[in-house]
Structure 1
Amino acid sequence: MPKSRGGRQTEPVHPICHRTLHAHFTNHELARMERDGVDIRRAEPIAAFLAFIAGKPPDFYAPTRKRRRDG
């Protein structure tokens, strides 16, 4: 849960991973997934990203495309 919503615990996240999470999910969706015990790593777009990024060096950078939102 983000600190702006009362979260206290922080986890270090690589910038490219952070951008990918927010390209696919809103803060509200991420908070709901955490509350419901959903493993975000198994969500389809994130699982595909993790498979792609697995062999890349720590300083790897790639542009992040935002998800098309309905509405």
Structure 2
Amino acid sequence: MAGRVRRKLGLVEAEALVERAAEPERCVLCGRPLGAKVEWHHLIPKSEGGRETAPVHPICHRTIHALVANGELAGEYADVEALRARPDVARFVRWIADKPPDFHAPTRRARVGEA
């Protein structure tokens, strides 16, 4: 393993690996069962110093980042309940509610001034 650094995992890191090893059952944004593909959303973006992640569908993950800027995610929307209560996200959650777990559709970014 030339070029790779090996280190012992700390207790917190080891616990995080164990949590990820157990298959997550539901998306934290929409609450639907997860499908074949699971993405891990940083509740506070890594660029803002966040480390905690939560399982989401790919379409839910793209929608979060299309609608909410990283600065807002790090502030008032770091809490999933607050994110779900945001009107544009709530509209998406209502729309996606009856779709199958592996549903895919293009995600468009909100236009300036749109909420």
* TM-score (structure 2 length as normaliser): 0.54
Percent identity over the alignment? 54
Q: CA RMSD in A?
A: 2.0
Aligned residues: 70
Q: Which whole-Å CA distance do the structure 2 matches of 1:17 and 1:36 have between them? A: 15
Pairing 1:13–2:93 present: no
**In terms of mean alpha carbon deviation, does 31-40 or 61-70 score higher?**
31-40
Long gaps (5+) in structure 1: none
Q: In the alignment, residue 107 of structure 2 is paired with which amino acid?
A: T
Rounded to whole Å, the distance in 2 between the matches of 1:13 and 1:28 is 20
What TM-score, normalized to structure 1? Answer: 0.83
1:33 to 76, 82, 98: 76
Higher relative contact order (CA 8 A, sep 6+): 1
Match of 1:3 among 46, 64, 71: 46
Aligned partner of 1:49: which letter?
Answer: F
Larger radius of gyration: 2
- What is the DSSP-based 3-state SS (H/G/I as helix, E as strand, rest coil) of the residue aligned with 1:33? coil
More strand, by proportion: 2
* Distance change >3 Å, CA 34–CA 49, structure 1 → 2: closer
Q: Which runs of 5+ in 2 are unaligned?
A: 1-43
TM-superposed deviation, 1:25: 0.9
Q: Give the structure with the higher percent helix.
A: 1
Q: Given the superposition, is the C-alpha separation of residues 41 and 35 from structure 1 closer, same or farther in structure 2, using an over 3 Å criterion? A: closer
Runs of 4 or more, structure 1, over 2 Å off, are 34-38
